Amino acid sequence: GQNIDQPTEMTATEGAIVQINCTYQTSGFNGLFWYQQHAGEAPTFLSYNVLDGLEEKGRFSSFLSRSKGYSYLLLKELQMKDSASYLCAVRQYSGNTPLVFGKGTRLSVIA
């Protein structure tokens, strides 16, 4: 089976830091992805982790611990435009196989 869990909603203040967690239990693991999705729009790719550790990309960082089945997305210096849903997704098998998505975390950034 497969299970990917993320909090349903989070609220944070403009300028602050927020961490969105994702835990997964899947048949296999070959990479974890984070996507951003604004309401009514297409998801857009943010980050990819396949090895343990932290990947930093500007204001966004993503961390992976394969032994714990755990990842987080860290957003720094929050801006109002960061209000969106954040989707955690796992590729279970090697090669270019489809992603399995969590239900997403809706982040609201308030002034």
Partner 1 sequence: DADVTQTPRNRITKTGKRIMLECSQTKGHDRMYWYRQDPGLGLRLIYYSFDVKDINKGEISDGYSVSRQAQAKFSLSLESAIPNQTALYFCATSDPGTGAYEQYFGPGTRLTVT
Provide φ and ψ at 58, rounded to 5°: 65, -125
Query: Rounded to an integer, what is the distance from CA 11 to the centroid of its chain?
Result: 16
Q: Which of 51, 53, 81, 96 binds partner 1 (CB under 8 A)?
A: 96
Cα–Cα distance, 56 to 105 (Å, whole number): 20
Query: Does 101 contact partner 1 by CB under 8 A?
Result: yes
Which candidate, 58, 4, 44, 38, places its Cα nearest to that of 106? 38
Write down the least CB distance from residue 45 to partner 1, Å: 4
Query: Does 104 contact partner 1 by CB under 8 A?
Result: yes
Cα–Cα distance, 30 to 32 (Å, whole number): 7
Query: Does 33 contact partner 1 by CB under 8 A?
Result: yes
Per DSSP, the chain holds a count of helices (H) and strands (E) of 0, 11
Q: Which of 7, 26, 29, 31 binds partner 1 (CB under 8 A)?
A: 31
Query: Does 43 contact partner 1 by CB under 8 A?
Result: yes
Query: Does 69 contact partner 1 by CB under 8 A?
Result: no
Q: Which residues bind partner 1 (CB under 8 A)?
A: 8, 31, 33, 40-45, 48, 50, 87, 89, 91, 96, 98-104
